[in-house]
Amino acid sequence: MTCMHQIFDNKSKKTRRCKRKAKRGSNFCFQHAAKKVAAKKVKKKIIVTASSASNLFDKLQSKNLKPFTRQHAFINGSVKKSKQTITMTLNGHAHAPVFQNMSWTAIKCRSLNSFIKATPCSVGSRKKVFFRHARDLKHYLTQINGKITRKHHIELFKACFKTLGTSFINHNRDIAFLHFKA
């Protein structure tokens, strides 16, 4: 069996180790090397900076983000607001989490409108804002200008800044509704 390491460097310790494993019948090195080569091509993090929530909506629609959303099974991130800028950091992940099956009515938080619920909640101690029209941040990015309009986007971010303050995260590994936490 030929190891991927041999193609790049024939004298490294990794190549010698790979050759020994190949003699024993293991294909671990080949798979490991292929994953490393593929990982170099994929951006794992993108930072989007905007002057307002409306401007952020425009930047999230840009063609630059479409390859990033296609490459990752799951995206989460954080948002920080300073005096004049909103900075959104998007982190891409190879594997999507398995969400709990929960209905919108099961979220026991104060309802701001038909698609946003926010703290105070009867469960949990952290400040939270839930958004009904997306299950996670990747779904949110793919639904912009479809199911999610500029009005929905601006209302969501107004609720987040009012409830959570100037810095909040999107972890979104537990339930199938987009939510932000402070």
In a domain, 8, yes or no: no
User: Counting beta carbons within 10 angstroms of the beta carbon of residue 37, is it exposed (0 to 12), middle (13 to 18) or buried (19 or more)?
Assistant: exposed
Gap between the Cα atoms of 156 and 179, Å rounded: 10
70 and 37 share one domain:
no
86 and 168 share one domain:
yes
Q: Please state the pTM of the whole predicted model.
A: 0.74
**Percent share of the chain, pLDDT over 70:** 76
Task: Output 33 or 83, whichever has higher pLDDT.
Answer: 83
**Average pLDDT over the chain, rounded to an integer:** 82
pLDDT of residue 16: 64
Q: Which domain holds residue 34?
A: 13-41
Residue 55: C-alpha distances to residues 103, 121, 159, 180 (Å): 32, 30, 17, 20
In a domain, 77, yes or no: yes
With CA atoms as reference, report the closest residue to 117 among 156, 171, 78, 77.
156
How many domains does the chain fold into?
2
Contact 84, 119 (CB under 8 A): no
DSSP code of residue 96: P
- Of the given ranges (34-38, 70-74, 175-179), which has the lowest mean pLDDT? 34-38
pLDDT, average across residues 108-118 = 95
24 and 70 share one domain:
no
pLDDT of residue 24: 60
